[in-house]
Amino acid sequence: MEVDTVRHGWQSGPDFRGTYDIVKTCLGTVVLLCWSSVCPNVPSQKKGLWHKFSGKIQLFFLSMLGPDFIFATALGQLNEAWRAKKILHKQGYTEWTLRHCFFVNMGGIHLEFRDRKQNGLPTFPADVDQLLYLVRNNYMSLPTITQADIDDRNKADSFTRAIAIIQTTWFTVNIFGRIAQDLFVTTMELTTLSFVFLMTCCSICWWHKPMDIPRPFIVPVYADLSGILAQEHTSAKSFGLTPLSFINRKEWLASQFWACCIHVLRKIIFKSSTITKPTEADHFPSISFHEPDLKWELTAGWVVPAYSAMFMIAWNFPFPTATECLLWRISAIITLAVLTLLPILAFWQQHRVSVASWFGFKKASEAENTIHGNDYGDIVELGFPQPNQHMGLLDRLRNMSANKDPLLVIRIRVWIPFAAMAALYCIARLYILIEDIAGLRSLPQSTFQTVTWNQYWSLF
């Protein structure tokens, strides 16, 4: 057997990439980015791995399917923490930072009332507003929490986040390098770039929020919860998440519609609805939609439309067939239209009274504008039945929550257009994801060429 005597030094790799490389890079970037960016609330303290990681897993899968929902959650939590910080500073608690407010609002403090402890009942979380309520009424003192206390419980995986940042940066630079050298960018890479943009915005909103806090602080309250509830003429069997939810619970269009969608999905998947008693909740859900203040809506209102507009970049891409090109254009238009119109309609629904007053129109009644409140009074005034009354078909459509929570009522004239737009959006998003995969079967030759970075090194 003849031995090959020809020897070679360092050999550079091939100057092309395969379809597998494209899929691996895009999927790896999205998974790393979504997992390292989401910040769940303090998990349930019940035993079991699901209770420990359920918030993280829910946020992760929702960010994979709809990062715009995660951004709405992050923006609302930032708004709540910012507002709580301002209130605390006005009350003289200037040592409380934005990080403190995030920590408390994510369920970082559990209250242990004297009578509940004697009866063997579990602790439950309280947010900043509820803590201040108890402090103002001399039921307790504001707990002292240092930055070191929070950081000691912060179990963020810095290594994973560092890898995600490096991978995301390299992916983004590579995409712009391909654009600069007129190399084809696949729709899958375009979708991944949209994920990078929106999840980066989520990370900015959650910049001061602690990540992966495994357990809360237990703060004893030397007062009876039953006495507090009796004084406020309420009970622990309210529709809120905890017995203190009567203090500051506020539902708005997004949270009402989200609760409706979750209930419908549970009915479809599990064929039954499980009603959980509010007093059994030992954590705040990680997926929640707090109503942002007007200034936050106006400041961040461009983010979601900008995200949806990125799909319009592929308007003239060479798709495998003309039909796929047409369907992509229709889906991109629907995505952009829905994510532009929904915030506008939600803004008008929540602020139309204020806007009308700006232009000198007659101011509508408060009951006509919103149904925020603690009891059934506003609901009855609007003509909605109480839970013990007979409910017709329209009443069921207005309130699809499992326990017929009166604060989750949605008017039919609002419910129908929002449901229609949500359905169109889901169909459009589904097609975009399908086309990302299907489009890989036929791509231009330049797709498989890599960026020639050598031409840039000569500039230095």
Stretch 377-397: mean pLDDT, rounded? 46
pLDDT greater than 60 at residue 360:
no
The answer to the question of residue 311 being in a domain is yes
Q: Each residue of 250-284: pLDDT tens digit?
A: 888 888 888 877 777 776 665 544 444 444 578 89
The parent domain of residue 440 ranges over 301-371+417-446
Q: Tell me the C-alpha distance between 358 and 165, whole Å.
A: 45
pLDDT greater than 60 at residue 454:
yes
Residue type, 420: A
Q: What pLDDT, on the 0 to 100 scale, is given for residue 416?
A: 82
The answer to the question of residue 123 being in a domain is no
Q: Which residues contact 195 (CB under 8 A, 6 or more apart)?
A: 29, 30, 33, 34, 67
Local confidence band at 325 (pLDDT 50, 70, 90 cut-offs): very high
Residue that has been written with the tokens 């970049």 in this structure: 313
Range in 42-51, 110-119, 388-397, 413-422 the model is least confident about: 388-397
Among the listed residues 458, 460, 459, 443, the one whose alpha carbon sits nearest the alpha carbon of residue 178: 443
**Beta-sheet strand order (sheet of 109-113):** 124-125, 109-113, 217-221
Q: Report the number of distinct structural domains present in the chain.
A: 1
pLDDT greater than 80 at residue 61:
yes
pTM greater than 0.85: no
Q: What pLDDT, on the 0 to 100 scale, is given for residue 107?
A: 92
Q: Tell me the C-alpha distance between 295 and 194, whole Å.
A: 25
Six-digit token string for 247: 């203090």
The answer to the question of residue 359 being in a domain is yes
Local confidence band at 310 (pLDDT 50, 70, 90 cut-offs): very high
Q: Each residue of 91-140: pLDDT tens digit?
A: 989 999 999 999 999 999 999 998 888 888 888 999 999 999 999 988 99
Q: What pLDDT, on the 0 to 100 scale, is given for residue 237?
A: 56
**Taking CA 420 as the corner, what is the angle to CA 423 and CA 345, rounded to the nearest 5 degrees?**
115
Residue type, 149: D
Stretch 55-80: mean pLDDT, rounded? 90
Six-digit token string for 315: 């308007």
pLDDT greater than 60 at residue 443:
yes
Six-digit token string for 204: 């900015």
pLDDT greater than 80 at residue 4:
no
The answer to the question of residue 94 being in a domain is no
Stretch 196-201: mean pLDDT, rounded? 92
Range in 48-52, 291-295, 335-339, 364-368 the model is least confident about: 364-368
Alpha helices in 382-411 (DSSP H): 393-398
* DSSP state letter for 125: E
Q: What pLDDT, on the 0 to 100 scale, is given for residue 369?
A: 36
Residues β-bridged to residue 220: 112
Local confidence band at 295 (pLDDT 50, 70, 90 cut-offs): confident
The answer to the question of residue 251 being in a domain is no
The answer to the question of residue 51 being in a domain is no
CB 376: neighbour CB atoms within 10 A? 14
Q: Each residue of 125-182: pLDDT tens digit?
A: 999 999 999 999 889 999 988 888 887 777 665 677 778 888 899 999 999 999 998 9
Q: How many CA atoms lie within 13 A of 432 on its CB side?
A: 30
The answer to the question of residue 194 being in a domain is no
Q: In percent, how much of the chain has pLDDT > 70?
A: 77
Q: What pLDDT, on the 0 to 100 scale, is given for residue 418?
A: 83
End-to-end Cα separation, the chain, in angstroms: 50
Q: Which residues contact 5 (CB under 8 A, 6 or more apart)?
A: none
pLDDT greater than 90 at residue 291:
no
Q: What pLDDT, on the 0 to 100 scale, is given for residue 403?
A: 67
Residue 110, classed as helix, strand or coil, is strand
Q: In percent, how much of the chain has pLDDT > 90?
A: 34
Higher-pLDDT residue of 114 and 409 is: 114
Q: Give buried/exposed letters for 136-169 (b at 16+ CB in 10 A, else e).
A: eeebbebeebeeeebeebbeeeeeebeebeebbe
Stretch 28-48: mean pLDDT, rounded? 88
The answer to the question of residue 263 being in a domain is no
Q: What pLDDT, on the 0 to 100 scale, is given for residue 236?
A: 55
Q: What pLDDT, on the 0 to 100 scale, is given for residue 409?
A: 79
Residues β-bridged to residue 449: 16
Higher-pLDDT residue of 237 and 300 is: 300
Residue 303, classed as helix, strand or coil, is helix
pLDDT greater than 60 at residue 391:
no
Six-digit token string for 108: 């970082």
Higher-pLDDT residue of 26 and 411 is: 26
Q: What pLDDT, on the 0 to 100 scale, is given for residue 1?
A: 46
Helix axes 67-90, 128-136, angle to 10 degrees: 20
CB 330: neighbour CB atoms within 10 A? 13
Q: What pLDDT, on the 0 to 100 scale, is given for residue 100?
A: 93
